[in-house]
Amino acid sequence: MAGLSSLTLSEMRAGLDRGSFTSLDLTRACLENAERFKDLNAFITLCPETALSQAAEKDALLAKGDRSPLLGIPLAIKDLILTKGVTTTAGSKILNNFIPPYDATVTTLLKQAGAVIIGKTNLDEFGMGSSNENSAFGPVKNPWDTARVPGGSSGGSAVAVAAGIVPVALGTDTGGSIRQPASFCSIVGIRPTYGRVSRYGVVAYASSLDQVGTFARTVRDAASILTIISGLDRHDSTSVNLPVPNYEACLGQEIEGLRIGIPKEFFIKGTNPEVEQSVRAGIAHLTTLGAVTVEVSLPALEYALACYYIIAPAEASSNLSRYDGVRYGNRASNPEDLDDLYSRSRSEGFGKEVKRRILIGSHVLSTGYYDAYYLHAQKVRSLIAQDFKRVFEQCDIIACPVAPTTAFKIGEKTSDPLEMYLSDIFTIPVNLAGLPGMSLPCGFDGQHLPIGMQLIGKPFDEGTLLKVGHAFESTTDWHKQTAKVFAE
Ligand code: GLN
């Protein structure tokens, strides 16, 4: 049994407050487990010394009666999110020596709430990928079957939680990077509405799609982290000035009469039948709790994948132009001239998939192609958003699969980018429309690989997602099963 580090956040909170153990005990246990499961490659950087000294400080505060919500709780942060003084690589060689001079707003909020950050988790380079195989620091292994991928791009955060190394971890989701790995690893993952959480200090991939969210082993833990990281930030003009509910207070409410939209476009040929069956069974379970289902249709969804793979690379090609070898990051040695410095610093620093995205992005934005691709994709994006808006007049949430398959084998899709992009078919529409989405454990396939159910909400209605998620979780056992390595 994995011990203290495998407790949930609420169990840790209760134990710390009761004095059953200290933050130092918890932090040591988490670091020991990180070491024990080193082969999973979930972390790029571990910070044992700072974590232990922070834990000791938190214990002193606890003794003084301080009751900050995360006081003394160890957790992990995706290495795409800046942490002052701690290397932040974005999973890329181009930033392998980058030590940020400031914290991302979400990092600050976690620290202010009293968290102990034990390390930075592995990811696909700059968040570009669906399997974590595009990391300059090696692939991450799925704790349910170490020959398989954990999903991506936030694979390290998902595995850190699924393997019982930390109770919660932050991720980012541009096209599914929280929900898909949560589904592959049988944990809870929530991507909030665009604008709900500040993106300040988060390495930009596709700025109109990026959003920070969290992984947890229970809906309650996800709700408590979301309450802490949400809200307006004057450093991010896209963050929204709306009151932040106490999301934990949404849990435990009835779902009687709640209307669940079932979009036929999300139940298509090509989806693994076991995935479809489990998701349908999950929806049927929600109806036994009083929810009702409504058939809905989102016709523009057919174009979502194509639309995303124009917009995301376009924004990426622009965002990534800052890595020039001059101000920070990899700098080529002995450049002949400025052009040589730029091109060699970038060629050496970026991996294959990132280069592919920069090429696609530059192409779709170039004169003559802008109208045909980028502008067109933006129009399609509006149609997709309108479809959701219309459908949300008929229902309160949408339920569907997270991904068409369960976790695939490491190496299985690396030679075919299109195959890999198809993993995102059910997650990217949510990002294009800027909506909140959640992944919940809802079953296993014949090989005992996890299956996730996706719940999609109205803008800024994370509370309903969490309420439904909690109702589901409290009456099912899927989330109680733990990954093979975790149980050893
Ligand atoms: N897999 C998608 C991509 O490669 C989404 C990644 C993400 O959400 N960061 O773009």
Residue 203 lies inside a defined structural domain of this protein: yes
Tokens of 288: 């036994």
- For ligand 1, whether the C-beta of 189 sits within 6 Å is no
Of 457, 472, 445, 300, give the one whose Cα is nearest residue 377. 300
Separation between Cα atoms, residue 342 and residue 347, nearest integer Å: 8
β-pairing, 397-401 with 259-263?
parallel
Residue 270 lies inside a defined structural domain of this protein: no
User: DSSP letter at 102?
Assistant: S
Residue 303 lies inside a defined structural domain of this protein: no
Which pLDDT value is given to residue 1?
37
Tokens of 90: 């974005």
Q: Which of 5, 23, 78, 345 is catalytic?
A: 78
β-pairing, 188-191 with 212-216?
antiparallel
- For ligand 1, whether the C-beta of 151 sits within 6 Å is no
Do 309 and 176 contact (CB within 8 A), yes or no? Answer: no
Looking at ligand 1, which residue's alpha carbon is closest to its atom 5?
A: 175
Is 352 one of the catalytic residues?
no
The neighbour count for residue 252, using CB atoms within 10 Å, is: 11
Kindly give the number of the ligand 1 atom that is closest to the alpha carbon of 128. Answer: 4
Name the 3-class secondary structure at 29: helix
Which pLDDT value is given to residue 342?
96
Domain count, the chain: 1
Which pLDDT value is given to residue 373?
96
Residue 285 lies inside a defined structural domain of this protein: no
Maximum C-alpha span of the chain: 70
Residue 432 lies inside a defined structural domain of this protein: yes
Per run of 10 residues, the mean pLDDT along the chain (length 488 residues) is 82 97 98 96 98 98 96 98 98 96 98 98 98 98 98 98 97 98 98 98 98 98 98 98 97 96 92 97 98 97 96 98 93 96 97 98 95 96 98 98 98 93 95 98 97 98 98 96 78
HSE on the CB side for 98, CA within 13 Å?
28
Which pLDDT value is given to residue 268?
85
- Describe the crossing of helices 105-112 and 219-229 by its angle, rounded to 10 degrees: 110
Condensed to tens digits (0 to 9), the pLDDT of residues 427-464 reads 999 999 999 999 999 999 999 999 999 999 999 999 99
Name the 3-class secondary structure at 451: strand
Pocket-testing residue among 130, 179, 305, ligand 1, by greatest number of atoms within 8 A of Cβ? 130
Q: Compute, in angstroms, the gap from residue 428 CA to the centroid of ligand 1.
A: 8
Separation between Cα atoms, residue 86 and residue 46, nearest integer Å: 9
Q: Spell out the residues 6+ positions from residue 135 whose beta carbon is closer than 8 angstroms to its own.
A: 44, 91, 122, 123, 124, 125, 129
Which pLDDT value is given to residue 2?
52
Do 23 and 16 contact (CB within 8 A), yes or no? Answer: yes
Residue 389 lies inside a defined structural domain of this protein: no
Name the 3-class secondary structure at 171: strand
Tokens of 69: 């919500």
Which amino acid is it at 94? I
How far is CA 177 from each of CA 50, 98, 171, rounded to the nearest angstrom?
28, 23, 7
CATH number at residue 104: 3.90.1300.10
Please measure the distance between the N-terminal and C-terminal CA atoms of the chain and give it in whole angstroms.
6
Separation between Cα atoms, residue 113 and residue 180, nearest integer Å: 28
Pocket-testing residue among 174, 211, 315, ligand 1, by greatest number of atoms within 8 A of Cβ? 174
Pocket-testing residue among 199, 205, 208, ligand 1, by greatest number of atoms within 8 A of Cβ? 205
Residue 294 lies inside a defined structural domain of this protein: no
Do 416 and 449 contact (CB within 8 A), yes or no? Answer: no
Host domain of residue 53: 2-261+394-487
Do 163 and 42 contact (CB within 8 A), yes or no? Answer: yes
Do 158 and 415 contact (CB within 8 A), yes or no? Answer: no
Condensed to tens digits (0 to 9), the pLDDT of residues 310-333 reads 999 999 999 999 999 998 899 999
- For ligand 1, whether the C-beta of 431 sits within 6 Å is no
- For ligand 1, whether the C-beta of 424 sits within 6 Å is yes
Which pLDDT value is given to residue 487?
66
Which amino acid is it at 307? C
List 83's β-bridge partners, or say none: 86
Residue 340 lies inside a defined structural domain of this protein: no
Q: Spell out the residues 6+ positions from residue 336 whose beta carbon is closer than 8 angstroms to its own.
A: none
β-pairing, 397-401 with 450-457?
antiparallel
Separation between Cα atoms, residue 372 and residue 306, nearest integer Å: 13
Which amino acid is it at 395? C
| Measured CA angle at 96 (ends 121, 337), to 5 deg | 155
Separation between Cα atoms, residue 239 and residue 232, nearest integer Å: 5
